[in-house]
Amino acid sequence: MRGDLCLRSMRFLLIALCISWVSLAWSTETLQPPAGEHHHSGSASQPPPAPETSHHDHAAPAVTAHDHPAPTAAQSHDHGSHAPPPAPAAATHDGHHDHQANAPQPAEPAGHVHAAPTLGDDHSAHAQHGEQGGSNHTMTHPGLPTRWIFPTIGLMLLITLWTLYRRPPELTAQKTYNMANIPLIGILVRFLNSSYLPLVVLKVISVAFFLLVVIAGLFGSSSPERNLATVFVWNYWWPIVVVSVFLIGSAWCAICPWDTMASWLVRWRLWKRRLPHPGLNLKVPVWLRNVYPALVLFMGLTWLELGIGVTAIPHLTAQLALVMVFLSLISLILFERKAFCRYFCPVGRTMGCYSRIAPIEIRPQVESICTSCKTMECYNGSAEIEPCPTHLTVGRFSQNTYCISCGNCVLSCPHKNVSWRLRPMGSEAGSQARPLWDTSWFMLFLLGITSFHGVTMMSFWNEWIFGVAKLIGESGQLIVSFSILMMAGFVVPILFYALAIAATLKVIPAGTRFGRLFLGLAFSALPLAFVYHLAHNMEHLFREGGDLTALILNPFGVGVQAMSAADRHAQMMQTFVPEEYLFATQSGLMLIGFWLSVRIIRYRGVGLLASGASLQGKGLVPILLFALLVSGFNFWLLSHEMVMRF
């Protein structure tokens, strides 16, 4: 009786919230200030002023082109200081955002270096950013307007309300469609499946461009916005790789230059199988046969990116790329097949997790053929084709997690029974994928890592860093302060998830273990992390990409001056697509992610209880509130002005 009353109360509360959100959205849109009146959408509090003794001495000798001043972790993409810069002229954006538009300034010297958010220096030495006469203004992206946020959150509340009234779904076989039979697309699929030559060509192009990026990073301009390495890797490659999962799953792994170069160096051939394999062919130790190594590397890369500021230092970006090739090479020499791709690669494992919600998969066309197959060329390989690099058998696996889309199974199958297939988005995460502890922790940490990236690009991030430093009495280097906040950013979403699971145990019949619910519902975090990852990186892709053609023609930045504040502002405002389309896409992605999360919760809840019953009604309330909380927080991040990378 009490549970029914609780459920009815929750439903009425959600109805009231929906009405409130719609009303608030309407009033916000109606009461928009006229053009010329400014409303600052960022943090209300301003960074504290720096002591007078902390100002740069501009009479100091100029920094050379390859000298990188070492600002603190507190900067974290705020390439200025924790002290407020001189007030620039304001530019009105969309009638209600207050953006700092700097008046045109004299061109900066070619050797100008943007301060990277590093951990290795005294924070008191960076009250202002003005190396070599460069701009001392922080450039920010406009936040997502409330006219997009409120209606989207209202729709999320309606989806939540609908879910509470729905009966649990029935688990039925998911319909799939062979992509080779789709008009036009099928021509491309059949061409790629016909031989190894198309993939070899793509790999050669990938490696050639990779080498160009590395050379540019090592020997080109130290200005990050003028160097192909930093602009392409962080503003193009990484956002596009994440977006590609939405369309082609883990296909990037098939042409990854890290693995391609390592394979060529070990085998000394472009594609044909080499027997015996020129390496030690050791089995990976049992304690490493999981994705925890990849998770640790991903956390380490995040620390380097946001703490050391690799994104703004071309030569460090190039060195990091070479380190990944080296790790892949060592793994290929030591272990059998491609252990780096399966267990260690942070990008590959992130793509593997995200591809669980992708709408495509590599699967058999006729399952009975795989069932009766005795030779299993997909697993063992053939005379010319390498075996599956991640130890998969096509007829026996039902998840994309470890598939790197290399195409070996497609080419080696004597029955030509393997192909790309379309499937409902999120179907694998909803019911097919097995819940395991390592992948569950990886998905939950992804949620924290993606949101933490957004937090560090907010205007209030400096205040947080200095607040922690003051609290723990840290001075000089801010390594500990940054690391504390980073780990908190990773762990807090997991704590909220654990609280949601604990609350679920309170409202369902006794007998179900905490671990069973924790593992089963962890998949719901995946689309929430994925869509915010997409929405956040769209800002970098469309606002900071710049002229890629000019960068490719002049990858070293020879003879090009560093961008002034006015140049960066003009680049930011000239997006590849109309700004309203960008806002609409970001809002749509957030809505799709929430809908996928709810769908996964419903399907994962089928038969989840110890009694065999399904999670429904009031049992869904805590985990649905968790999904709403995460989506609301990520919307809050998107609503703030975001500091540019460099």
Q: Which of 125-129, 469-473, 520-524 has the least mean pLDDT? A: 125-129
67 has a pLDDT exceeding 50: no
Q: Check residue 113 and give its pLDDT.
A: 34
66 pLDDT band, cuts 50/70/90, is very low
Q: Is the pTM of this model over 0.75?
A: yes
Quote the CA–CA distance of 212 and 318 in Å, as a whole number. Answer: 10
Q: Calculate mean pLDDT across residues 216-230.
A: 94
pLDDT classification of 172: cutoffs 50, 70, 90: confident
What pLDDT was estimated at residue 170? 87
How do residues 196-207 score in pLDDT, each as one tens digit? 899 999 999 999
Q: Note the pLDDT of residue 565.
A: 76
Coil, helix or strand for 341? Answer: helix
pLDDT at 183 over 80: yes
pLDDT of residue 50: 42
Question: Does 159 score more than 90 pLDDT?
Answer: yes
Quote the percentage of the chain above a pLDDT of 90.
57
Residue 210 pLDDT exceeds 80 = yes
What is residue 193's predicted lDDT score, i.e. its pLDDT?
87
282 phi, psi to nearest 5 deg: -75, 150
Burial of 487 (0-12, 13-18, 19+ CB in 10 A): middle
276 preceded by cis ω (within 30°)?
yes
The pLDDT, as a whole number, for residue 247 is 84
Least confident interval from 89-98, 223-232, 443-452: 89-98
Q: Which residues contact 107 (CB under 8 A, 6 or more apart)?
A: 561, 564
Tens of pLDDT, residues 566-616: 777 777 777 778 889 999 999 999 999 999 999 999 999 999 999 999 999
The pLDDT value recorded for residue 119 is 52
Higher per-residue pLDDT: 327 or 9: 327
Query: For residues 609 and 515, is the Cβ–Cβ distance under 8 A?
Result: no
Q: Is there a contact between 80 and 181 (Cβ–Cβ < 8 Å)? A: no
**The tokens 């407020």 sit on which residue?**
84
601 CB-side CA count, 13 A:
33
CB under 8 Å to 183, separation ≥6 — which residues? none
The first and second tokens of residue 636, run together, are 């809050």
pLDDT of residue 60: 38
Residue 446 has pLDDT above 70, yes or no: yes
pLDDT of residue 400: 85
| 268-293 pLDDT, tens digit each | 888 889 888 888 999 999 999 999 99
Which residue pairs from 184-189 have beta carbons closer than 8 angstroms and sit at least 24 positions apart in sequence? 189/419, 189/420
Residue 371 backbone dihedrals phi, psi, to 5 degrees: -65, -40
pLDDT at 176 over 60: yes
Instruction: Give the model's pLDDT for residue 530.
Output: 96
Structure tokens at 620: 């869904």
Task: Please give the average per-residue pLDDT across 414-433, as a whole number.
Answer: 90
Alpha helices in 227-291 (DSSP H): 228-230, 238-248, 257-267
Top-confidence residue, 133 or 244: 244
**What pLDDT does residue 1 have?**
43
Average pLDDT value over all residues in the chain: 81
User: How far is the C-alpha of 622 from the C-alpha of 619, rounded, in Å?
Assistant: 7
Q: Flag the least confident range among 6-20, 206-220, 292-306, 357-371.
A: 6-20
| pLDDT band with cut points at 50, 70 and 90 for residue 386 | very high
Q: Range with the lowest mean pLDDT among 143-152, 329-338, 576-585? A: 576-585
pLDDT for the residue numbered 138 = 65
Q: What is the mean pLDDT of residues 527-548?
A: 90
Residue 447 predicted with pLDDT over 80? yes
- State the average pLDDT over residues 625-645: 93
pLDDT attached to residue 448: 96
Q: Which residues contact 278 (CB under 8 A, 6 or more apart)?
A: 266, 267, 268
Q: What is the structure's pLDDT at 618?
A: 92
pLDDT in tens, 25-35: 443 343 333 33
- Give the tens place of pLDDT for each residue, 52-62: 333 333 333 33
